[in-house]
Amino acid sequence: MADEERRSRLQALKLVALIRDHWSIDDPQTSPFALGAAALDGGVGWVLLDERQPRGLGPALAWAIRAGANQLHVLADVGTGTIARRAVAFRMPIEVWHVADRVLLPAIAEPLLAPSLVAPAEHEVFRELMTQGGATPVIEEGILIGEVRGLEVCRVVTDEFSGAARLEVGIGRHDREAFQMLHGDVPTVEALTRVVAAVEPHRQPDAAPHPLNRLGRERALRARLIDDPALISATHVEAIPSPIARTNINDPHPAVARAIIDGLPTTVVISTGIDLDVVPFATDARLATGDPTRVAVPIRDAVPVQTEIAALLDDPIPIVPIG
């Protein structure tokens, strides 16, 4: 706790120094901000994002709403291209700055690279094996993976030396490596079936708490919507790739789906927990598909500030609570 408090004080001092250097404001009013530091002068707000917080635009906007700011400067030393791209979608004036020591550089919005909707042909040969083993094939980042109600249990990996594709079974890289040592390069349907059978009971909506249902909760909710599209007034829901690559299976990351709602294709961004950055994330999903977009969250995780952030968009995105 002491280290965190010290880090917070240092962040606040750094932000005040940057404001003095670049805006000639001697005494901005600092205020608590969990992901770095924040300060206010009149209706202008500044937020310095901690380097450990790449998904910070939503929390910065939440702070600005509560602080009464009508103009926002977001300062960060990582991820500024993504933040700048998302900031364009908001009608609140937002300027994004890249921090390089004591120098601020205007951030340049990075173009969004469209996610691949198809997997290579050498990956597709494993689709039938996944299905026979009880896993649901899903394409993510141009890779064919197999899921059990949203939890990845296998993926096709292309060998970096030979270029050959192989199916690896397991939850995460280390689990896949252990499985490969036991079962070899070509897992059988029976081996995959055993893994699926061990995982599936823990991925049911009414399952008791277990490590296997703490992972990928957003994807578990997506699987539930695929089974029951009426929960979001849809007639059909299917998984589509995320516009932003997921770094690992442990950290929360919104899931994305395409639904048919009122006869129209609609992009649905699915999140769990109190995710203040889900609306900025959803602007990327809308940019990737070009479809009308909405955010779906469990009713227990729907907080008013998410709707307030969405209302700041030029084209607001509805928040849909799921019971």
pLDDT tens per residue across span 107-137? 999 999 888 888 999 999 999 999 999 999 9
Task: Give the CA dihedral 282, 285, 289, 295, nearest 10 degrees.
Answer: -40
Class of residue 120 by CB neighbours under 10 A (exposed 0-12, middle 13-18, buried 19+): middle
Instruction: State pLDDT tens for residues 212-255.
Output: 999 999 999 999 999 999 999 999 999 999 999 888 888 889 99
- Tens digits of residue pLDDT in 194-214: 899 999 999 999 899 999 999
Q: Which residues contact 211 (CB under 8 A, 6 or more apart)?
A: none
Architecture in CATH of 216-322:
3-Layer(aba) Sandwich (3.40)
Q: What is the mean pLDDT of the chain?
A: 92
- Torsion angles phi and psi, residue 147, rounded to 5: -120, 155
pLDDT of residue 3: 74
323, exposed or middle or buried, with CB in 10 Å at 0-12, 13-18, 19+? exposed
**pLDDT tens, position by position, 44-59:** 999 999 876 668 999 9
Q: Which of the 8 DSSP states describes residue 150?
A: T
Given a cut of 80, whether residue 13 has pLDDT beyond it is: yes
**Of 32 and 310, the one with more pLDDT:** 310
Q: What is the pLDDT of residue 182?
A: 67
CB-based contact 284:275 (threshold 8 Å): no
Q: Where are the domains of the chain?
A: 2-106, 121-203, 216-322
Q: How do residues 265-320 score in pLDDT, each as one tens digit?
A: 999 999 999 999 999 999 999 999 999 999 999 999 999 999 999 999 999 999 99
Share of the chain above pLDDT 90, in %: 76
pLDDT of residue 2: 67
pLDDT band at 1 (very low <50, low <70, confident <90, very high): low
Please give the model's pTM, rounded to 2 decimal places: 0.92
DSSP codes of every residue in 74-140:
EEESSSHHHHHHHHTTBSS-EEEEEEETTEEEE--PPPPPPPP-S--HHHHTTHHHHHHTT-EEEEE
Sorting pLDDT into bands at 50, 70 and 90, what band is 187? low
pLDDT band at 176 (very low <50, low <70, confident <90, very high): confident
- Name the band, by pLDDT with cuts 50, 70 and 90, for residue 175: confident
Which residue would you say has higher pLDDT here, 322 or 4? Answer: 322
